[in-house]
């Protein structure tokens, strides 16, 4: 097991009864000037917007709406302007991971006078070193990213065709997680979100550290839970237990616990982020298409024992031949993703040309350091191009 430090200060308020009773004080403890951030309107349709406005009636609320999936830097710039203009004390993010990711960068950008993109381009170096950050309170409406309990944000710059992960100094101050708010999430986003969670687990499970049995076992348990509950949520959108397990699973998968003691090089995420950057596709869908192909590429005589453990512990496969169990585990992964309704090819998300694969692969390898032990197995630009091509 590798050395690690684990600290996470987010105050989690999970379940049905926290929001109406506690939202006001959770926000007001930081001041009375609030920037309310949200997306394209799902919170108005569900009635959540009205509940929030009612709860914050005695506070000064400034709104930033229209934060898009794969949040764009322009929304962050707009938020930066509003936080300065209104001398905002606290941000309340209401929505999915995209709204929350943008909100976290806005929270740092209030204290930065340059272009907000600088705080993304440097992967958060300035934000962490010497820029303050507003507290962020969030009400999460989609289970996927884990953004509600981590310090990361992923922001897109369409002018540059770049989608980049950055890390601020803090995790959200308070996160309200009410699974009922996810009942209205579409099948597409439910499948994508569930697979995003699963991918966060595979990225951390296929790892070069050895003898990290505590973390491996935790991850296997969380994987089994996503495999069990995602189809239930798809079949019965208002099944509380399914939505609750997916919501807490999403948070736990990426709050730092599943990384403890690992070497943790992520591979499929940087490769997927290029698809989202160039074609603005849904993150979890891109991961679903790429992951089984990456697994096939990563399987070798050196890695087969790990893949076989994955097959036995997660997919309940039996047999003594590691290579055989590993291959069946990859097939089981593919079949499960497909059963969620995720299109298993890039053509299924309207990517029909390989024109951009070379430049996308170069970026993925550079950003993820994929050819220098950045991931579980090293991948060259040619390897990544081959992965995109195998996914067509
Ligand atoms: O914009 P609105 O109208 O709210 O609609 C959203 C959006 O269209 C809708 N939605 C959200 N909650 C809903 C709902 N529709 C009905 N009912 C509800 N309760 O769903 C759509 C997608 O929302 P989005 O926030 O984009 O989804 P998600 O939470 O999956 O976030 C994806 C983004 O997070 C990044 C991804 O790259 C992507 O940009 N990631 C962030 C990470 C992090 N911060 O740690 C890690 C992840 O690996 C990921 O990269
Ligand atoms: Zn992800």
For 200-234, write each residue's pLDDT tens digit: 999 999 998 888 999 999 999 999 999 999 999 99
Per-residue pLDDT, 221? 98
Ligand 1 mutation target, pool 96, 143, 276, most atoms within 8 A of CB: 96
Ligand 2 mean position, distance from CA 226 (Å): 14
148-198, pLDDT tens digit by residue?
999 999 999 999 999 999 999 999 999 999 999 999 999 999 999 999 999
**Mean pLDDT, residues 81-91 taken together:** 98
**What span, in angstroms and rounded, lies between the C-alpha atoms of 249 and 197?**
7
Strand 174-177 to strand 33-38: parallel, antiparallel, or no bridges (unpaired)? unpaired
Question: Which residues, 6 or more positions from 175, have their beta carbon under 8 angstroms from its beta carbon?
Answer: 10, 11, 12, 13, 137, 138, 140, 148, 149, 251
CA 178, CA 22: separation in Å to the nearest integer? Answer: 13
Q: Cα(284) to centroid of ligand 2, in Å? A: 6
Instruction: Quote the pLDDT of residue 327.
Output: 98
Distance from the alpha carbon of residue 34 to the mean position of ligand 1, in angstroms: 22
Q: Which domains does the chain have, with CATH numbers?
A: 11-181 (3.40.50.1970), 189-391 (1.20.1090.10)
pLDDT at 124 (0 to 100): 87
Q: Is the dihedral of CA 385, 387, 388, 392 positive or negative?
A: positive
**What is the model's pLDDT at position 127?**
83
> How many whole angstroms separate alpha carbon 292 and alpha carbon 299?
11
Mean pLDDT of the chain: 97
Which residue has a Cα nearest atom 18 of ligand 1?
A: 185
Q: Quote the pLDDT of residue 211.
A: 84
**152: how many CB neighbours lie within 10 A of its CB?**
18
357 CA → ligand 1 middle, Å:
25
pLDDT at 374: 86
Show the ligand 1 pocket: residues with CB < 6 angstroms: 39-43, 69-70, 95-99, 101, 141-142, 144-147, 150, 152-154, 181-182, 184-185, 189, 193, 196, 254, 269, 283
Map tokens 């050196």 to a residue.
Answer: 302
Nearest CA to ligand 1 atom 47: 145
The pair phi, psi for residue 70, each rounded to 5°, is 50, 65
pLDDT at 153: 97
Nearest CA, atom 31, ligand 1: 97
Over residues 250-269, mean pLDDT: 94
**ipTM, two decimals:** 0.99
- Predicted local distance difference test score (pLDDT) of residue 130: 84
Distances (CA, A) of 158 to 48, 112, 117, 126: 30, 22, 12, 22
For ligand 1, atom 48, name the residue with the nearest CA.
145
pLDDT at res. 100:
98
Q: What percent of the chain has pLDDT over 70?
A: 100
**Residue 58 main-chain phi, psi, to 5 deg:** -90, 5
Judged against a pLDDT cut of 80, whether residue 264 lies above it is answered with no
pLDDT digits over 26-58, tens only? Answer: 999 999 999 999 999 999 999 999 999 999 999
Give per-residue pLDDT as tens, 325-371.
999 999 999 999 999 999 999 999 999 999 999 999 999 999 999 99
Tell me, in angstroms, the distance from the centre of ligand 2 to residue 269's CA: 6
For residue 291, which ligand has an atom nearest its CA? 2
**H helix or E strand, kind and range, residue 203:** helix 187-205
Ligand 1 center to 98 CA (angstroms): 5
Q: Which two tokens stand for residue 275?
A: 């698809």
């Amino acid at each position: 097991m590798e050395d690690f430090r684990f600290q996470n200060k987010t105050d989690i308020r999970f379940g049905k009864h926290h929001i109406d009773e506690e939202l006001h004080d959770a926000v007001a403890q930081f001041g009375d000037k609030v920037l309310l951030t949200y997306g394209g309107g799902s919170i108005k349709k569900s009635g959540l917007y009205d509940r929030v406005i009612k709860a914050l009636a005695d506070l000064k609320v400034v709104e930033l709406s229209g934060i898009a999936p794969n949040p764009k830097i322009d929304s962050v710039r707009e938020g930066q302007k509003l936080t300065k203009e209104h001398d905002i004390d606290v941000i309340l993010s209401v929505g999915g991971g995209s709204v929350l990711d943008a909100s976290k960068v806005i929270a740092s950008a209030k204290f930065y006078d340059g272009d907000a993109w600088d705080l993304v381009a440097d992967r958060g170096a300035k934000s962490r070193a010497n820029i303050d950050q507003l507290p962020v309170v969030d009400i999460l409406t989609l289970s996927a990213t884990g953004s509600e309990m981590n310090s990361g944000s992923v922001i897109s710059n369409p002018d540059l065709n770049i989608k980049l992960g950055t890390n601020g100094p803090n995790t959200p101050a308070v996160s309200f997680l009410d699974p009922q708010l996810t009942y209205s999430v579409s099948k597409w986003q439910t499948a994508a979100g569930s697979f995003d969670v699963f991918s966060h687990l595979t990225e951390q499970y296929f790892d070069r550290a050895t003898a990290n049995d505590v973390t491996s076992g935790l991850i296997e348990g969380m994987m089994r839970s996503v495999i069990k509950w995602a189809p239930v949520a798809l079949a019965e959108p208002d099944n509380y237990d399914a939505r609750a397990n997916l919501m807490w699973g999403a948070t736990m998968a990426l709050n730092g616990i599943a990384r403890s003691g690992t070497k943790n090089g992520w591979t499929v995420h940087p490769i997927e982020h290029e698809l989202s950057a160039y074609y603005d596709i849904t993150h979890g869908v891109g991961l679903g298409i790429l992951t089984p192909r990456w697994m096939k590429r990563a399987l070798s005589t050196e890695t087969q024992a790990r893949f076989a453990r994955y097959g036995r512990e997660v997919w309940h496969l039996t047999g003594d031949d590691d290579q055989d169990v590993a291959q069946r585990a990859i097939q089981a992964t593919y079949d499960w993703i497909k059963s969620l309704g995720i299109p298993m090819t890039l053509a299924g998300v309207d990517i029909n040309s390989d024109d951009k694969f070379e430049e996308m692969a170069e970026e993925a390898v550079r950003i993820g350091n994929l050819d220098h032990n950045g991931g579980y197995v090293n991948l060259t630009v040619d390897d990544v191009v081959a992965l995109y091509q195998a996914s067509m």
